[in-house]
Amino acid sequence: MNVVIGLILVLATIALMEFVAYATHRWIMHGPGWFLHASHHRVRNGPFEANDLYAVFFAMPSILLLLGGAQLGWGAWAVWMGAGIAAYGAIYFGFHDVIVHRRIGIRYVPRSRYMKRIVQAHRLHHAVESRRGAVSFGFLWAKPVESLKQELAANGGVLRGPSS
């Protein structure tokens, strides 16, 4: 497969993963998978939380596509898509775990309007400690902050801390 086509496939997969992440977060993690995700809406004790198991689940399609494309003859498309899923996971880790939740000792202060909006949107998501009433389930895209605050208030959520 042409490298340019492969890179386009990687970028398209990253974009598609935003929809997959949104749907998974909203309807699985805040639904039947809350038993794992609840740990992420509470104060963490120690370096890990039950929610971290989702990273293992989300890595499986990437690993399967990379294996299938590289070793099982599925075709180059599978390698490029597996790489796209892995890239989304790396971006997610950098943003979510490093920048927003500061799980690694790196201090980052968002300066661009885009980064400020998605960081604040994620903090507004965490303004709710239950599985219901949360806002902003995506990762690479978020509604304007004022819109999210209105939605949170309509859901009965309470603004607290730096998110307000």
Per-residue pLDDT tens over the stretch 58-111: 999 999 999 999 999 999 999 999 999 999 999 999 988 888 888 888 888 999
d(CA 150, CA 77): 42
Q: How far apart are the first and last CA of the chain?
A: 49
Q: Looking at the predicted structure, is the pLDDT value of residue 141 above 60?
A: yes
Q: What angle do CA 13, 15, 20 make, to 5 degrees?
A: 85
Q: CA-to-CA distance for 140 and 131, rounded, in angstroms?
A: 21
Q: How far is CA 111 from CA 55, 84, 119, 136, in A?
A: 28, 27, 11, 20
Q: What pTM, to 2 d.p., does this model score? A: 0.88
Mean pLDDT, the chain, as a whole number? 90
Evaluated on CA atoms 162, 31, 60, 4, the torsion sign reads negative
CB neighbourhood size of 163 (10 A): 19
